[in-house]
Amino acid sequence: MAEPAASPYSTESVAFRSALDVIRGVEPRVADAITQELADQREMLKLIASENYASPAVLLAMGNWFSDKYAEGTVGRRFYAGCRNVDTVEALAAEHARGVFGAAHAYAQPHSGIDANLVAFWAVLSQRVESPALAKAGVRQVNDLSEEDWARLRADFGNQRMLGMSLDAGGHLTHGFRPNISGKMFEQRSYGTDPATGLLDYDALRATAREFRPMILVAGYSAYPRLVNFRIMREIADEVGATLMVDMAHFAGLVAGKVLTGDFDPVPHANIVTTTTHKSLRGPRGGLVLCDEELAEHVDRGCPMVLGGPLPHVMAAKAVALAEAARPEFGGYAQAIVDNSRALAEGLLKRGTRLVTGGTDNHLVLIDVSGYGLTGRQAEAALLESGIVTNRNAIPQDPNGAWYTSGIRIGTPALTTRGLGPAEMDEIAGLIDTVLSGTTAAPAPKGGLSKAHHVLDAAVADQVAQRAADLLAGFPLYPGIDLS
């Protein structure tokens, strides 16, 4: 990813070392923690599907005085004076986002993926509930509504429906589930996958949509290893009068890199698209909303509707990351993510590992660890002991629920950034299989087997961890940065 100059005198080394010296002068323990975090990340075999490594340019764009600035409003229309440089970076972030994704409009202010979704939900409510109510009352803004009309509008906000992918099929909490605010705002129903194939069941989804008639149909996922056909999604949305919202938080990098095109590119099909910028897109932690012309003015009300002041330093980093994503090399990176994911899946399948849907078409693989007689929690802990960082995840119809689970989700964006390729993925599949085969559920205190605890021979764990470390040593993380 970065320049190969692994010298303490390289530009990158000097930049980060100097920054750490400045921090050390105030609170040395923070400087030490930052230094240690780099060392830890360099040692981790990171298969967390939602994580990545942002470039030094992205990281440095965040660490500066842009952080000091309040800039509520939109580019050129701020509630604070002195925003011309914030305007520059926010306009650049939006311009690059429109270019990379081919979107009519982009809004770069959301602080995170959940915030991007809140902006999107309220943009749709603004367009489809608030605007008609204002027009009917013959007023321009909510402050001009009578108490009675306002009370009715508030009730109407709370009476809308959302249809989203179920959690155990790979959907996200922010798609209308009760523990999240989205589930408290909307009456929600879920669609899922075909129990026989594990694939999205569009016919069942269409039937549910016809019956339920949601205002918002949400597509997108955190743990579905296959492609989603957004053309069909839009057809279904149009048929029932729903707005199609796609949350591409996980796979935005594959869209930016033109690996997902045609029916599988959400941008031409959806009315509104949300994403994080820090997952496969490899930018700073943050969110982004893309939309058609009709929704643009509603999306731009995100701040102050649901967001506080924007984070100008993060918008600067988004502009840098999106400029990186616009380069031809990023297409190669995105393709390599998928090639690696396929190699990982094939490596597991040939060793007899059960995968949800039997494989992958994107950046992630969902292992059904019940084949090893383990819960996801046990598998996650055993892998961690062996130097492999993953996360447990529910699988469709999971008998162990959302806490213990029966799945392990693994993804390739981070290791692909480090430069690992299909041969390494095959070897990693072997390491995973070695650990899971060597792990057993611990006996439960009251008899039977524990769902939480496991037994793994320390020699096996050490051997795998050593091999993982050797493998990573060939692919240095941040090769241009030497803090010694």
Ligand X SMILES: *Cc1c(COP(=O)(O)O)cnc(C)c1O
Q: Is 47 annotated as a binding residue?
A: no
Alpha-carbon distance 247 to 255, whole Å?
12
Minimum distance of ligand X from residue 223's CB (angstroms): 8
Q: Is 172 annotated as a binding residue?
A: yes
Q: Is 171 annotated as a binding residue?
A: yes
In the bound state with ligand X, the residue whose beta carbon lies nearer, of 20 and 252, is 252
- Which residues belong to the active site? 70, 72, 247, 276, 279, 285
Among the listed residues 220, 310, 396, 407, the single contact to ligand X using CB under 6 A: 220
Minimum distance of ligand X from residue 445's CB (angstroms): 36
Alpha-carbon distance 158 to 141, whole Å?
19
| 187 strand-pairing partners | 161
CA dist list (Å): 411 to 41, 385, 389: 16, 19, 11
What is the x/- site pattern for ligand X, positions 44-83, by CB under 6 A? Answer: ------x---------------------------------
The three-class DSSP label of residue 453 is strand
DSSP letter at 168? Answer: G
393 touches ligand X by CB under 6 A = no
Minimum distance of ligand X from residue 166's CB (angstroms): 13
Longest dimension (CA), the chain: 75
Chain positions 306 to 335 lying near ligand X, rule: CB under 6 A, are none
Which H/E stretch holds residue 366?
strand 364-368
Alpha-carbon distance 203 to 48, whole Å?
32
Residues 182/117, Cβ–Cβ less than 8 Å:
yes
Q: Is 453 annotated as a binding residue?
A: no
Chain positions 257 to 296 lying near ligand X, rule: CB under 6 A, are 276
Pairing type for strands 439-443 and 449-456 reads antiparallel
Residues 171/190, Cβ–Cβ less than 8 Å:
yes
Minimum distance of ligand X from residue 51's CB (angstroms): 10
| 105 strand-pairing partners | 291
CB atoms within 10 A of CB 405: 26
Alpha-carbon distance 232 to 248, whole Å?
16
Alpha-carbon distance 206 to 161, whole Å?
15
Binding-site residue total for ligand X (CB under 6 A)?
A: 12
In the bound state with ligand X, the residue whose beta carbon lies nearer, of 226 and 454, is 226
| Helices marked H in 25-173 | 28-43, 56-62, 84-101, 113-125, 131-137, 147-157
Alpha-carbon distance 44 to 428, whole Å?
13
| 275 strand-pairing partners | 288
Minimum distance of ligand X from residue 245's CB (angstroms): 11
In the bound state with ligand X, the residue whose beta carbon lies nearer, of 163 and 249, is 249
Query: Could you give the dihedral angle defined by the CA atoms of residues 335, 340, 346 and 352, in that order, rounded to the nearest 10 degrees?
Result: -150
Chain positions 221 to 250 lying near ligand X, rule: CB under 6 A, are 222, 247, 249-250
| 243 strand-pairing partners | 216
Among the listed residues 56, 73, 113, 253, the single contact to ligand X using CB under 6 A: 113
- Residue number with the smallest Cβ distance to ligand X: 113
In the bound state with ligand X, the residue whose beta carbon lies nearer, of 245 and 374, is 245
Candidate ranges 19-27, 106-114, 318-326, 352-360; the one touching ligand X (CB under 6 A):
106-114
405 touches ligand X by CB under 6 A = no
172 touches ligand X by CB under 6 A = yes
In the bound state with ligand X, the residue whose beta carbon lies nearer, of 281 and 320, is 281
Among the listed residues 114, 337, 395, 481, the single contact to ligand X using CB under 6 A: 114
Minimum distance of ligand X from residue 413's CB (angstroms): 12
Q: Is 260 annotated as a binding residue?
A: no
Minimum distance of ligand X from residue 264's CB (angstroms): 16
In the bound state with ligand X, the residue whose beta carbon lies nearer, of 16 and 230, is 230
Alpha-carbon distance 222 to 251, whole Å?
9
Residues annotated within the binding site are 167, 171-173, 293
Residues annotated within the binding site for (6S)-5,6,7,8-tetrahydrofolate are 167, 171-173, 293
Residues making contact with ligand X (CB under 6 A): 50, 112-114, 172, 174, 220, 222, 247, 249-250, 276
